[in-house]
Amino acid sequence: MKIVLPGGTGHVGRLLEREWTAAGHEVVILTRRSGGGREVHWDGRTLGPWAEVIDGSDLVVNLAGRSVSCRYTPANLQAMMDSRVHSAQVVGEAIAAAARPPRVWLQMSTATIYAHRFDAANDEATGLLGGAEPGIPRYWAYSVEIAKAWERAQAQADTPQTRKVALRTAMVMSPGRGGAFDLLLRLARLGLGGPVAGGAQYMSWIHGRDLVRSLDFLTAREDLSGPVNLAAPNPLPYRDFMRGVRTAWGIPLGLPATRWLAELGAFALRSDTELLLKSRRVVPGRLLEAGFDFEYTHWPEAAADLVRRTRGA
């Protein structure tokens, strides 16, 4: 297949590029950098010569968006919104304008679209979308608005010959610098892998290998469109999740941190506590129903594999 990855220069894009190139596919990346080789320049918001790479492609997976690993200031939140909505809109315009449009458009979305909750898991059919939970910070509701607008931009695109799937993705766990696993492992190795703010908040995750496999599955399955949760079937509380990281690496203790300490740490790392404190309890209802077989269903086995590969590298 010829596969186009708008925003494919980040952690997820490089993972997909590696796996799909090894599998014999042709991968082209759209980037705001100067381009060259398998990279083509675009600005993420206006149609241009770059749109030619979409014409005649088989699959488009749009990953573009301002990194969420930052302080959630009003300006950064606006940039997160605009970069996602504008890039999804212009990808839709390029597909609509193509003489030979791709068969499938997989559009990144996020598991953050669901409500902050502890009581039950969110699948696509019965899950609660977030934004109206009592007592959550106002900007958490805005993150949900971003996710909804992101999905709307894809849903509203007029691309009748292209099947559209919105990928409500949990934290992607794969080895390598700059990924979520790298950050959490470093925290654990610094002795900071204990519960934060009690540690009852749920962590939803997906092993990188299952991310790639699930995208292959969604590409092949003509009957699947609309929102699909990409998350392993067994999300777990943060305290157990971090215990899994510590056990896999062989770190006996992790210091607990209060919400206040976490705020201080996030400030120092130029990041935001929403990423750690929001309870994301998300399960892959549609994937399981469609018969997708996860390689990694439980976190301890996934963490052991990630540690093995991190040490190997």
- For residue 35, state whether it binds ligand NAP (rule: CB under 6 A): no
DSSP 175-193: SSTTSHHHHHHHHHHTT--
- For residue 186, state whether it binds ligand NAP (rule: CB under 6 A): no
Q: Count residues contacting ligand NAP (CB under 6 A)? A: 24
For the segment 136-175, give every residue that binds ligand NAP (CB under 6 A): 169, 171-172
Helix (H) or strand (E) holding 140: helix 138-155
- For residue 87, state whether it binds ligand NAP (rule: CB under 6 A): yes
Nearest distance, CB of residue 44 and ligand NAP, angstroms: 3
**Long-range pairs for 133-141 at CB < 8 Å and ≥24 separation?**
136/278, 137/274, 139/72, 139/77, 139/274, 140/116, 140/274, 140/278
Closer residue to ligand NAP, CB minimum distance, 35 or 256: 35
Residue indicated by tokens 């305290």: 239
- Length of the chain (residues): 313
Nearest distance, CB of residue 134 and ligand NAP, angstroms: 25
> CA angle, 181 as apex, 175 and 184 as ends, to 5°?
145
Among 3, 4, 5, 7, binds ligand NAP (CB under 6 A): 7
- For residue 208, state whether it binds ligand NAP (rule: CB under 6 A): no
Residues 88-127: x where in contact with ligand NAP by CB under 6 A, - otherwise, as a string: --------------------x-x-----------------
- For residue 243, state whether it binds ligand NAP (rule: CB under 6 A): no
Closer residue to ligand NAP, CB minimum distance, 135 or 144: 144
Contact 98, 51 (CB under 8 A): yes
- For residue 44, state whether it binds ligand NAP (rule: CB under 6 A): yes
Nearest distance, CB of residue 16 and ligand NAP, angstroms: 9
Round to the nearest angstrom and report the end-to-end CA distance of the chain. 29
Bridge partner list, 4: 28, 60
Longest dimension (CA), the chain: 59
8-state DSSP, 166: E
- For residue 32, state whether it binds ligand NAP (rule: CB under 6 A): yes
Angstrom distance (rounded) from CA 38 to CA 210? 25
Chain residues that interact with ligand NAP, rule: CB under 6 A: 7, 9-13, 31-33, 44, 63-68, 83, 87, 108, 110, 169, 171-172, 180
